[in-house]
Structure 1
């Protein structure tokens, strides 16, 4: 890949990180003419029982309200999907909301394909019991696999996941500690704007939950993962597993989607080889999770929204990376010696 990029009509590596993105894209697709369209973002939504422990600045009801907002086309993910010509699907795998009530009179956006695949009313409280039961674990993975299979069958070249679930950075922190060995003080961040009191409570909950699971289960076992995960996180993990098997290029978003990537890599080592890391968020544990996966992020924009927004922001850059690979001429084509003389 680099040999081809260095023969293009420019000083070697003069396009900087864009060339690194191009090389990564070529490596994933095993071609010097990578394809970036059509593409799809699938946003998975679910609630988390651990919210009852005061680990979030927002109440659980916000998950349902934001499901309605995305379904109605008014969220940041909708705007960025439209801007980057990325298809958007919304899959509810476990929100607490009553569908009619959370819609609140918002008219559904025909551009958003919605699937109600709720397994149950969110995950259980991971501080006191396993967050996900074995049958819920299997079903969540399967829903994600179904969505990736659909994407492959419908001709997608590039896919990404987003998430919506109040409390999910707590689950992500637990999984990052468990699977990537990131220490507590680095794994736990403010999520969606936690103040100092909430942050301290969140650290205590995560530390206690991970310690219990480490005592009871092997770190990489399905039982350990299920004890700390969320339904939407598991669905994303299933999505990544199937997307890898289908040969799709996967663009990661932020901390929560990277926690799902840790699960996928644990269950199927090598899965991360199909992934691009769009950005590194302000959540401190994201750095350690990406390093564990050996992925280098391309944006440092202090993002912390989720919903797949960071992945969507990378889409124009992967278009540019693919274009230089397939459309730029080489020095040989112009009859120019590519070695500079001075």
Structure 2
């Protein structure tokens, strides 16, 4: 019996069935590689082939600042965004170390930080929509035009990945304060209740957490009033430039036939936006892990996704969870593409039990 394989509506279900059949004929007891078999079938379904490819691969990290930090919702000042942009670019951040370890290209795109840009160099781009979003506690974080500009920047990165021959992509983010935006989007787009939507982010204490909860509740209520009539405008009320860019990246990646490895809570907020604007985007996604942020499980459930790494207690962002999961994709693709079948070895499978 094979593990449950998420169906991808609109895809060729014959590929899924063929993948399941091949998995059962490989030189092993049926289902004995557990969830790795489910991952292999998912890859085959997304790519429409029984010989899925998991390289070349690229992670694009979108960076931006958030005006809501002025409300005291983060344990860290906005200046840390600039510090981490430089660390990622220099190669000393977790994302760059993990990308190197799994042979993934890394591109850093500043879509809206407040810092002075660095000198241009390979793997780093400045495509700023603005110097950080406005304070979402006081009004819309961005205008609809700014939201669509950020979407377009993300979509352009997906096209560049396709043109460079990438088969698997992931998106990460860097932006102090972005768990506040992510929590608002969890409430708005995944109906996560406020007590489950707001977590400690990068280490908020109890006082900071309570301030954050009040901001999220008020801003989400304001955005919800326009959600039915103007979904893009409602999302723009509470999103971040990097989250909108990830949404554009995901939607365009799906249209281009790329396999998407989904990172943590903030990336999943971007995925929720993409699914609202381009239904079916989640069909091309593989969820890497379950974040410690309390909203993440319900956000993934809204997308119909189950995480590969469930108990790793990850909460960093930067695409790190996706990078940790990529070697599992390699293993799944190798298994279904290269293993001998029982027939190859002249082994007769056992008869089904009566």
TM-score normalised per structure 2: 0.92
**Do 2:248 and 2:274's aligned partners in 1 also have CA atoms closer than 8 Å?**
yes
1:19, CA displacement in angstroms?
Answer: 1.1
Residue ranges of structure 2 left out of the alignment (5+ in a row): 1-18
Report the counterpart of residue 89 of structure 2 in structure 1.
71
Task: Supply the distance in 2 between the matched residues of 1:217 and 1:20 (Cα, whole angstroms).
Answer: 36
Return the match for 1:304 from 293, 303, 315: 315
Report the counterpart of residue 282 of structure 1 in structure 2.
292
**Do 2:70 and 2:135's aligned partners in 1 also have CA atoms closer than 8 Å?**
yes
- Where do residues 39-58 of structure 1 align in structure 2 (5 Å cutoff)? 39-58=57-76
Task: Supply the distance in 2 between the matched residues of 1:270 and 1:49 (Cα, whole angstroms).
Answer: 32
1:340, CA displacement in angstroms?
Answer: 5.2
- Where do residues 14-163 of structure 1 align in structure 2 (5 Å cutoff)? 14-99=32-117, 113-163=123-173
Residue ranges of structure 1 left out of the alignment (5+ in a row): none
**Do 1:178 and 1:219's aligned partners in 2 also have CA atoms closer than 8 Å?**
no
- SS across alignment from 1:280: strand
**Do 2:226 and 2:233's aligned partners in 1 also have CA atoms closer than 8 Å?**
no
Task: Supply the distance in 2 between the matched residues of 1:35 and 1:49 (Cα, whole angstroms).
Answer: 41
Q: Deviations over 1:187-243 (max 9, x none)?
A: 111100111111111111100111112224428710101111000000000000110
Task: Supply the distance in 2 between the matched residues of 1:308 and 1:127 (Cα, whole angstroms).
Answer: 27
Q: Is 1:208 aligned with 2:225?
A: no
Report the counterpart of residue 12 of structure 2 in structure 1.
none
1:46, CA displacement in angstroms?
Answer: 0.3
Taking structure 1 as reference, are residues 325 and 181 closer, same or farther at Cα in structure 2, changes over 3 Å only? Answer: same
1:332, CA displacement in angstroms?
Answer: 1.6
Report the counterpart of residue 2 of structure 1 in structure 2.
20
Return the match for 2:339 from 324, 328, 333: 328
- SS across alignment from 2:266: helix
How many positions carry a matched residue from both structures?
Answer: 334
Taking structure 1 as reference, are residues 219 and 37 closer, same or farther at Cα in structure 2, changes over 3 Å only? Answer: farther
1:6, CA displacement in angstroms?
Answer: 1.0
1:296, CA displacement in angstroms?
Answer: 0.5
Q: Deviations over 1:160-183 (max 9, x none)?
A: 000000000110110011001111
1:152, CA displacement in angstroms?
Answer: 0.4
Report the counterpart of residue 241 of structure 2 in structure 1.
231
Task: Supply the distance in 1 between the matched residues of 2:224 and 2:352 (Cα, whole angstroms).
Answer: 60
Task: Supply the distance in 2 between the matched residues of 1:283 and 1:167 (Cα, whole angstroms).
Answer: 14
Q: Is 1:218 aligned with 2:228?
A: yes
Task: Supply the distance in 1 between the matched residues of 2:126 and 2:117 (Cα, whole angstroms).
Answer: 9
**Do 1:255 and 1:281's aligned partners in 2 also have CA atoms closer than 8 Å?**
yes
Task: Supply the distance in 1 between the matched residues of 2:223 and 2:329 (Cα, whole angstroms).
Answer: 39
- Aligned-residue RMSD, C-alpha: 1.5
Taking structure 1 as reference, are residues 74 and 274 closer, same or farther at Cα in structure 2, changes over 3 Å only? Answer: same
Q: Is 1:185 aligned with 2:203?
A: no
- SS across alignment from 1:334: coil
Task: Supply the distance in 2 between the matched residues of 1:125 and 1:238 (Cα, whole angstroms).
Answer: 22
Task: Supply the distance in 1 between the matched residues of 2:350 and 2:236 (Cα, whole angstroms).
Answer: 55
Report the counterpart of residue 258 of structure 1 in structure 2.
268
Q: Deviations over 1:136-160 (max 9, x none)?
A: 1111000000000000011000000
1:246, CA displacement in angstroms?
Answer: 0.3
**Do 1:220 and 1:266's aligned partners in 2 also have CA atoms closer than 8 Å?**
no
- Where do residues 159-178 of structure 1 align in structure 2 (5 Å cutoff)? 159-178=169-188
Task: Supply the distance in 1 between the matched residues of 2:352 and 2:246 (Cα, whole angstroms).
Answer: 51
- SS across alignment from 2:314: coil
